[in-house]
Amino acid sequence: MKNIFNNARERMRFFRFLVVGAFGFVVDFGIFNLLFRVIGIAYVVSGDISFFCAIISNFIWNRLWTYPDSRSKPLLRQFFQFTIVNLIGGLPIRTAILKYLEPEVTKLFHLIREDYLFLTADWMGKYTTFIIAVFIVLLWNFFVNRYWTYNDVQ
């Protein structure tokens, strides 16, 4: 596999993918809070609906802005591929990282004096692990989507 980041076009696609993902986070977070806090829909159901809304938003913006030259595949087939990639990244990969890495990261924070931390060691471990999981899933989503969902792009 060639290093795609040596290509200016691919670097721009990656940057756009990051921007779309950040917007998708806002969609996910906003819809979750609207459904859960304002309307009163159950926590897990609100999270599932908001996650799927973010997938739809990210697909639309990636197709229109990140990969506008990706039109040789049928829309529904490409959406199905994009959804599968995001579900795999968003559920088993992220869940495994949060479940198995968080206790180890938290142990490391417990080695640091509490007055050096701006949150408790437990919360620092949780947030740090969450950031690691988001980064790994981001890379998963970008590369798998680039080479499977948008493999028709030069």
CB 27 within 8 A of CB 53: yes
pLDDT in tens, 81-122: 999 999 998 888 988 888 899 999 999 999 999 889 888 998
Listed in sequence order, the DSSP H helices in the chain are 8-33, 43-61, 75-88, 94-110, 121-144
Domain extents in the chain:
1-68, 74-154
- For the chain, list residues with pLDDT below 50: 1
pLDDT of residue 1: 47
Amino acid at 89: G
Share of the chain above pLDDT 90, in %: 56
Q: Are 116 and 85 in contact (CB under 8 A)?
A: no
Rounded to two decimals, what is the model's pTM? 0.82
